[in-house]
């Protein structure tokens, strides 16, 4: 079966197994002669969840097993989508404590990538709300791991890209909310330094993120719309919002019906879009009430939006730079992107908070994420951007990556060596591999 990540690059012909319970799963693992990798809903952009010999589709593990309304703790199998969690628990007053920009990720995928959201600066990544998980280890045994028991396994599995074993089920906490609505405050920032200043002042905001115009030049370089958000309380709701407290009225899902010709995306169309988008944001600056779906998942409403990049797919670049080097590093990245004439309208800037973890992506500083339609010049551009990020002490998000080299990964992240040593020692290196782990010699 031809599979790819969300970026539709690269593609590979993979043998797929779809177990429905631990019995099937153990059988799949026992039958596989070489290595295997678990796959969730295919939202990692690159080659993280591809293994030609055996890719284990975990979407058959789709059961919610327990809910403790005092602690807000859910126990769910690895293939349950965050969308399911929201559908079931939002009307009861609960929302995921951490959510990435799509609700179509599985619980297992969220843990393996240790995903972050717009609240990372304040509350950390998905792993910060994880109480325990069950992992099928290289020896075929399912172990329960938490901060107290099997703590090494726990620490490496969170953010471990599925390379420590197969995550089977997990217990994690939700946050209590009073409604499905968000109070959003949009602040235009005419330059990069102004955007960063706004982020630094907004440390108390629960959510913060910025859309950044990666093609604007001169004094407008790095102009952004900084968007802050809070869960609306019942008292904030009036009229139709109050009647629809959990924002359940169904929004029509649209789908991109065809692959767009890649020519549609060029420096002129993107820069025209960006100009309009910024002007529009500036006009609408101020506080608005929006439903959680539009706030957290604007792109989920357009199913298969990845097809706008054409048949060759796209690659996403996401790095994080340490705080002290952020302004200089971001400036250098933006200059290089503008010089390349590539770049897209989906460019996101976000302040991240401090995080201590074994192999997860986030660190205190600024993260920049943007998409590039895949062209022959893309690898070269990525190499340039990666070089700039490494020179400024940055590192890369493996859930987005399809381009990195083993050398650059090791230069950017000294945690790589202990990670591979752990894999060798525990037998995971031989048993769990993805095209990404092979490419990066993990």
Q: Which residues bind other proteins (CB under 8 A)?
A: 18, 20-21, 62-67, 77, 84, 88
Q: At what angle do helices 192-201 and 323-340 cross, to 10 degrees?
A: 150
Which among 28, 3, 1, 202 has a CA at the least distance from the CA of 118? 202
* Residue 11 C-beta-side C-alpha neighbours within 13 Å: 10
| Listed residue (234, 239, 208, 178) closest to 116, CA to CA | 208
Smallest gap from Cβ 284 to other proteins, in A, equals 37
Give 77 or 221: the residue with its C-beta nearer to other proteins: 77
Edge to edge, the sheet with strand 314-322 lists: 286-291, 181-189, 224-231, 207-212, 347-352, 365-373, 314-322, 395-396
How many other β-carbons are positioned within 10 Å of the β-carbon of residue 143?
A: 17
Between 168 and 347, name the residue whose CB sits nearer to other proteins.
168
Element (H, E) at 254: strand 254-255
Residue closer to other proteins (CB basis): 43 or 169: 169
Nearer to other proteins, 70 or 148 (CB): 70
- What distances in angstroms separate CA 263 from CA 48, 111, 312, one per listed residue? 28, 37, 12
* Of residues 116 and 307, the one with the C-beta less far from other proteins: 307
The residue among 409, 341, 416 whose CA lies nearest residue 381 is: 341
**Residue closest to 192 by CA, chosen among 170, 220, 153:** 220
In the complex, what is the shortest distance from the CB of residue 29 to other proteins, in angstroms, rounded to a whole number? Answer: 18
Least distance to other proteins, CB of residue 17, Å = 9
d(Cα 345, Cα 372) in Å, to the nearest integer?
10
N-term to C-term CA, the chain? 25
Which one, 73 or 340, has the nearer CB to other proteins? Answer: 73
Of 95 and 372, nearer to other proteins (C-beta) is: 95
Q: How far is the CB of 23 from other proteins (least distance, A)?
A: 8
Longest dimension (CA), the chain: 61
Task: Give the nearer residue to other proteins in terms of CB position, either 77 or 213.
Answer: 77
The minimum distance between CB 379 and other proteins, in angstroms, equals: 32
DSSP 344-378: -S-EEEEEE-----SS-S--SEEEEEEEEE--TTH
Q: How far is the CB of 242 from other proteins (least distance, A)?
A: 24
Shortest distance (Å) from residue 305 CB to other proteins: 19
Instruction: State the minimum distance, in angstroms, from the CB of residue 18 to other proteins.
Output: 6
- Contacting residues for 269 by C-beta, under 8 A, at least 6 apart: none
Q: Whose Cβ is closer to other proteins: residue 21's or residue 287's?
A: 21
Query: Taking the complex as a whole, how short is the minimal distance between the CB of residue 182 and other proteins, in angstroms?
Result: 25
């Amino acid at each position: 079966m031809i599979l790819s990540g969300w970026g539709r690059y690269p593609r590979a012909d993979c043998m797929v197994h779809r177990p429905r319970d631990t019995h099937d799963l153990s059988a799949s693992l026992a039958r596989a002669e070489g290595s295997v990798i678990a796959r969730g809903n295919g939202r990692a952009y690159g080659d993280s969840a591809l293994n030609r010999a055996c890719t284990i589709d975990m979407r058959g593990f789709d059961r919610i097993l327990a809910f403790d309304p005092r602690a807000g703790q859910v126990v769910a199998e690895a293939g349950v989508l965050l969308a399911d969690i929201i559908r079931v628990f939002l009307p009861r007053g609960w929302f995921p404590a951490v959510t990435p920009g799509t609700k179509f990720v599985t619980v297992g995928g969220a843990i393996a990538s240790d995903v972050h959201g717009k609240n990372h600066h304040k509350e950390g990544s998905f792993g910060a709300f994880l109480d325990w998980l069950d992992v099928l280890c290289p020896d075929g045994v399912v172990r329960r791991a938490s901060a107290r028991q099997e703590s090494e396994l726990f620490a490496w599995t969170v953010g471990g890209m599925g390379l420590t074993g197969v995550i089977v089920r997990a217990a994690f906490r939700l946050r209590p909310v009073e409604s499905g609505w968000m109070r959003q405050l949009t602040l235009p920032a005419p330059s990069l330094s102004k955007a960063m200043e706004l982020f630094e002042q907004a440390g108390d905001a629960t959510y913060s993120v910025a859309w950044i115009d990666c093609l604007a030049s001169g004094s407008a370089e790095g102009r952004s719309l900084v968007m802050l958000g809070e869960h609306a309380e019942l008292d904030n709701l009036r009229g139709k919002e109050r009647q629809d407290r959990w924002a359940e009225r169904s929004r029509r899902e649209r789908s991109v019906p065809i692959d767009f010709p890649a020519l549609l995306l060029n420096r002129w169309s993107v820069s025209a879009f960006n100009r309009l988008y910024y002007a529009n944001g500036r006009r609408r600056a101020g506080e608005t009430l929006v439903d959680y779906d539009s706030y957290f998942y604007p792109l989920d409403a357009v199913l298969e939006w990845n097809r706008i990049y054409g048949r060759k797919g796209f690659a996403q670049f996401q790095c994080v730079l340490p705080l002290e080097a952020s302004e200089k590093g971001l400036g250098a990245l933006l200059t290089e992107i503008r010089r390349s004439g590539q770049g897209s309208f989906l460019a996101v800037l976000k302040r991240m908070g401090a995080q201590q973890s074994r192999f997860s992506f986030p660190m205190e500083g600024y993260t920049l994420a943007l998409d590039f339609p895949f062209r022959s010049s893309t690898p070269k551009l990525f190499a340039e951007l990666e070089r700039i990020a490494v020179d400024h002490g940055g590192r890369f998000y493996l859930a987005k990556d399809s381009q990195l080299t083993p050398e650059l990964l090791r230069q950017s992240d000294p945690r790589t060596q202990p990670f591979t040593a752990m894999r060798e020692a525990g037998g995971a290196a031989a048993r769990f591999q993805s095209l990404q782990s092979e490419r990066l010699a993990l």
